[in-house]
Structure 1
Amino acid sequence: MNKTGVFIVMLLIVIGGAGWFFAENMPQRGAPMTGGGMNPPSDNTNTQSSSAEEKALPIPPLLEDKNPEQGKAEFDLIAQEGTTEFFNGKESDTYGYNGNYLGPVIRVRNGDDVKVNVKNELSDATTVHWHGLEVDGTEDGGPHSGIESGETWDPEFPIEQPAATLWYHPHLLHKTGEQVYKGLAGMFIIEDDISDSLNIPKEYGENDIPLIVQDKQFSSDGTFEYNLNRHDIMMGLQGDTVLVNGAVNPYLEVPQGKVRLRVLNGSNARTYNFKLSNDQKFHQIASDGGFLEQPAEMTNVVLSSAERAEIIVDFSEFEEGDTLELTDQGTPFMSFRVTGEEGHQADLPGQLTTIEEINPSEAVRTREFVFQGMGRNVNINGKQMDINRIDEVISLNETEIWEITNEAGGMMGGMGGNGGMIHPFHAHGVQFQVLDRDGNPPPPNETGWKDTILVSPGEKVRVIATFEHPGVFMYHCHILEHEDAGMMGQFEVE
């Protein structure tokens, strides 16, 4: 065999090994899961957290509304630098809103007129993007709305959407991954008359609990830094230690009854496969943009970066002192400790809300968005982000179908299938309904409103939306290292 033949054989061996690697590390979709994803080549063991002391789960405070007038709300939000002890006696440099790490929960109501005074006390510029909020482009907080160090941004917007668990985070061009990783993120909760009327757990911090799940790569001294290597650029930065609300190995004391968990995947890149340690069933009641029509019974839920799920876990059959763990692919990262207190006992409503389905016949056009490339060459439709270029122009109040296809992967999976990367697709300023995945109806927990859609290698997902807010908005992969590398485009609604 000549040298060329030997090279081809070796290349085939490498590709075959890569395909095995991706197949072994790719959680498979199956109803009622929301999609597949890939974690790093480790066994997903939390090496730091295995030696960390358990501590009570921190509950983010509700941010004070400074406007006493009914129907109006005003909040002060400060992006600042600080230090945080994730392990006893070991401080790490971090960012936070109104504190050292993460931020308070902003809670408003549908119909409110909201103003947020955002002050930037970082040494670098930043923005604040209201992820999942349907607002005009000038208030969206994307890359065009930079806040220089020492300056303030005062967006004002009406809340015109149903009850939902949203979030806020930076969206500075080429800096989103670093600033989110350092700690800039917080929940944004909308309530409405329907959420008020439902007989479900709704006592914030007691049986209605926010869970911001993130992963970090800690050094031996208990600190973390945002330093990307070639693997991080290709796959997105993924760590070996999972945090919940900024805590390692937290526990939550829960009553003997139903508890509502508002789960946000706030990680830069990791896709989680959440499951209870006893394989107990739970019910998902809401996705990104609000309530499902009916509760979806689940044994696990997969969330890619930026996706949310509200789930109800029933602890009624547990005894005082019992413990249950929340796991990612079987690895526990937080625990629930059952108290003797009686909790919420009412049966879940069979009907949570009514969602008016958008008829595909109302769509005036279909647009295609194709994820391609890998590493620093990631792109959508063959183009990388150019802030001076509008990629798509949409007419205000028109309905469109978007076809999102994942062809990304390059040598290690460019053909899709089990060899390749997932890409979570997110568009600003709008909520979608999922029409189908590869021609198949979406699972029950994807039949509500979605702003972030996991797209597996080789998969095509069709979604539909009506664009009711004018301005310039982003669409992008929500693996933040991919976004920062250019896997992002702009659409203008006019």
Structure 2
Amino acid sequence: MKSKLFVTTLLVGSVILGGCSASNSQSGKHETMDHSNMTDEETTNMEGMDHSNMSHDEMMNMENGHASHTNPLPLNDSTGDNELALPPLLEPKHGVVDITAQQGKTEIFEGVETETYGYNGSFLGPVIRVNEGQTVTFRTKNNLAEPTTFHWHGVEISGEGDGGPHQILQPGASHDVKFTVNQGASTLWFHPHPEGATAEQVYKGLAGLIYVEDENSKKLGLPSKYGENDFPLVFQDRVFTEEKQFDYQAVRNEDGTIGDTLLVNGTFNPKLTIGKEKVRLRLLNGSNARNYTFKLNTGDKFQQVATDGGFLNKPITMSEITLTPGERAEIIVDFSKYDADHNIALVNEENTILLPFHIDDQKTSSIEISDSLNDFAVTDEERNLPVTKKLELFGMGPMVSINGKQFDMNRIDFTQKQGETEIWEIYNKPDMMGGMIHPFHIHGTQFKIVSIDGKEPPANLQGWKDTVSIEPSQTVKLAVKFNNKGIYMFHCHVLEHEENGMMGQIEVK
């Protein structure tokens, strides 16, 4: 393990390692952006970063950091020494789910206790399973020594229950969030969202999953035995001190904090034991900033069956899938053709071993996956709607903005009517150093990707989404409808970008 001094020098001394990917795209004029209501200062900032007040060293640090986005700090290979931990499965009891944010100590490394945060335990959280149409009360409590919130990422819920920075829960306080599950089968998640502290609280361990089931999901024949052929996989990269502790402030990166140590479900050097059968893997990129491209080391293909907010219309055969922070995907891997002697693992784009699989020859079953999973569609009416909301994402580090502005809790940036679909156009404006990928997230809704640079999105993105990866110079159009009222955030899901101001607010009336 690298020393604390070395890590601090590597990550902080260079200012930016970056979790967003760099791009060589050249800056160009974006014809559809309306700047008529912007001040001269805002327009100037959007046309190009103003570096006039920066020192030479600061400029060099930014340039070095930006260049390093294409070569982020490498991860360790998993040795497969430890069986993957599975989060407890938690279902409502008399309609109530108790969820407590708390501090604790966790033995991530053998014989060492690391100080961590968790929900209903010392590290990470449970999988909460609910059903469409069910009325549920999330009974939340903050047992931390600092304020927090409970944000239900991907859940269609009223603004007052969404858990954004307005819904602060002080230490020792409790709050009931009651709502009716009004969306189809999906893999969602929850995490804190207090202004200025989201990144550190997630980094320390506050993250859990939410499974929504519906009548359709129960009929599709998908692997659905939790912990047997249906597995949650939460991928997070971290840096530990020599004492095997988290020291977020020492390694915090203004452009996204990257780690060299991979944890899957909080497990270091994990392996997953599975049978000779089709297995469902529910992937969550729960990292602060790192992007992951998942593939099998054998080069074999798999099937993607779901996006952030629900099933695709049919399984899509893939050889790899990339998820940016906050995104999820469900994939089916057929292990029936392998035996215990096979060396098979989930790896990333650098062929780093993320999760080796151990095949138990004694566990076999046969499952036929339905060719028809959903009836999702972008309608002709939605395609023909005019663009009514235009957003320009720009900048890096502490200089990030949306439409030339940084987040202000007291400012409402947009309004929209409940139940009405609008087209949002989001443009990722590159800067002088090429720009960065921004995973764009909208609270309280699941949206449809209408187009990417004027073209139909890839087949595996033609499903419900709440977070979309937008590359430099790219323009994405989304069909957005809110089924509930309230104030919701929209922001970059690189958590440090969010905290630095790449976030806005919409009020749904």
When normalised by structure 1's length, the TM-score is 0.87
Q: Are 2:362 and 1:335 equivalent residues in the alignment?
A: no
Partner Cα separation in structure 2 for residue 342 and residue 292 of structure 1: 28
* 3-state secondary structure, aligned to 1:153: strand
Q: 2:176 aligns with which of 129, 154, 163?
A: 154
User: What is the CA distance between 1:212 and its match in structure 2?
Assistant: 0.6
**Residues 269 and 132 (structure 1 numbering): CA distance in 2 closer, same or farther, change over 3 Å?**
same
User: What is the CA distance between 1:361 and its match in structure 2?
Assistant: 5.3
Q: 1:347 aligns with which of 368, 372, 381?
A: 368
How is 1:44-443 mapped onto 2 (pairs within 5 angstroms)? 44-46=74-76, 54-67=81-94, 73-227=95-249, 232-233=253-254, 235-329=255-349, 330-358=351-379, 359-360=381-382, 363=385, 365-409=387-431, 411=432, 413=433, 419-443=434-458
Gaps of 5+ in 2: 1-55
CA contact (8 A) 1:455 1:461 kept: yes
User: What is the CA distance between 1:215 and its match in structure 2?
Assistant: 0.4
Q: Residue type of the partner of 2:89?
A: L
Partner Cα separation in structure 2 for residue 137 and residue 188 of structure 1: 18
Q: 1:475 aligns with which of 478, 484, 490?
A: 490
User: What is the CA distance between 1:184 and its match in structure 2?
Assistant: 0.3
Deviates more, 1:314-323 or 1:457-466: 314-323
In the TM superposition, what whole-angstrom CA distance separates every residue of 1:294-322 from its partner, at most 9, and x where no partner exists?
11100000000000000000001011343
Q: Which residue of 2 aligns with 1:454?
A: 469
CA contact (8 A) 2:395 2:435 kept: no
* 3-state secondary structure, aligned to 2:227: coil
* 3-state secondary structure, aligned to 1:168: strand
CA contact (8 A) 1:364 1:398 kept: no
CA contact (8 A) 1:128 1:171 kept: yes
User: What is the CA distance between 1:249 and its match in structure 2?
Assistant: 1.3
Q: Residue type of the partner of 2:269?
A: N
The alignment's C-alpha RMSD in Å is 2.2
User: What is the CA distance between 1:90 and its match in structure 2?
Assistant: 2.1
Partner Cα separation in structure 1 for residue 387 and residue 456 of structure 2: 21
Partner Cα separation in structure 1 for residue 211 and residue 471 of structure 2: 29
Question: May I ask how many residue pairs the two structures share in their alignment?
Answer: 451
In the TM superposition, what whole-angstrom CA distance separates every residue of 1:153-204 from its partner, at most 9, and x where no partner exists?
1010110000000000000011100100000000000000000001110001
Partner Cα separation in structure 1 for residue 246 and residue 336 of structure 2: 39
**Residues 462 and 228 (structure 1 numbering): CA distance in 2 closer, same or farther, change over 3 Å?**
farther
**Residues 18 and 173 (structure 1 numbering): CA distance in 2 closer, same or farther, change over 3 Å?**
closer
CA contact (8 A) 1:130 1:168 kept: yes
Q: Residue type of the partner of 1:334?
A: L
Deviates more, 1:161-170 or 1:344-353: 344-353
* 3-state secondary structure, aligned to 2:423: strand
Partner Cα separation in structure 1 for residue 86 and residue 468 of structure 2: 27
CA contact (8 A) 1:90 1:223 kept: no
**Residues 14 and 107 (structure 1 numbering): CA distance in 2 closer, same or farther, change over 3 Å?**
same
User: What is the CA distance between 1:63 and its match in structure 2?
Assistant: 1.4
Partner Cα separation in structure 2 for residue 45 and residue 190 of structure 1: 32
In the TM superposition, what whole-angstrom CA distance separates every residue of 1:425-482 from its partner, at most 9, and x where no partner exists?
0000111111111112111110000000000111111111222211000000000001
User: What is the CA distance between 1:45 and its match in structure 2?
Assistant: 3.4
Q: Residue type of the partner of 1:277?
A: N
Gaps of 5+ in 1: 1-9, 27-38, 68-72, 414-418
User: What is the CA distance between 1:344 and its match in structure 2?
Assistant: 3.9
**Residues 147 and 175 (structure 1 numbering): CA distance in 2 closer, same or farther, change over 3 Å?**
same
CA contact (8 A) 2:92 2:136 kept: no
Partner Cα separation in structure 2 for residue 53 and residue 279 of structure 1: 20
User: What is the CA distance between 1:396 and its match in structure 2?
Assistant: 1.6
CA contact (8 A) 1:201 1:344 kept: no
Q: Residue type of the partner of 1:429?
A: G
In the TM superposition, what whole-angstrom CA distance separates every residue of 1:219-243 from its partner, at most 9, and x where no partner exists?
222222211557x10x200101111
Q: Which residue of 2 aligns with 1:35?
A: none
Partner Cα separation in structure 1 for residue 213 and residue 430 of structure 2: 38
Partner Cα separation in structure 1 for residue 401 and residue 111 of structure 2: 43
CA contact (8 A) 1:363 1:398 kept: no
Q: Residue type of the partner of 1:250?
A: P
Deviates more, 1:359-368 or 1:141-150: 359-368
Q: Which residue of 1 aligns with 2:508?
A: 493
Partner Cα separation in structure 1 for residue 197 and residue 392 of structure 2: 24
Partner Cα separation in structure 1 for residue 468 and residue 80 of structure 2: 35
User: What is the CA distance between 1:353 and its match in structure 2?
Assistant: 1.2
CA contact (8 A) 1:364 1:399 kept: no
When normalised by structure 2's length, the TM-score is 0.85
Q: Residue type of the partner of 1:354?
A: D
Partner Cα separation in structure 2 for residue 298 and residue 53 of structure 1: 25
In the TM superposition, what whole-angstrom CA distance separates every residue of 1:61-80 from its partner, at most 9, and x where no partner exists?
1114221xxxxx21001100
Partner Cα separation in structure 1 for residue 172 and residue 309 of structure 2: 33
Identity %: 46
CA contact (8 A) 2:80 2:271 kept: no
In the TM superposition, what whole-angstrom CA distance separates every residue of 1:399-418 from its partner, at most 9, and x where no partner exists?
11111111154x4x2xxxxx
User: What is the CA distance between 1:362 and its match in structure 2?
Assistant: 6.5
Partner Cα separation in structure 2 for residue 355 and residue 84 of structure 1: 42
**Residues 408 and 121 (structure 1 numbering): CA distance in 2 closer, same or farther, change over 3 Å?**
farther
User: What is the CA distance between 1:21 and its match in structure 2?
Assistant: 3.6
Q: Residue type of the partner of 2:220?
A: L
**Residues 229 and 83 (structure 1 numbering): CA distance in 2 closer, same or farther, change over 3 Å?**
closer
* 3-state secondary structure, aligned to 1:449: coil
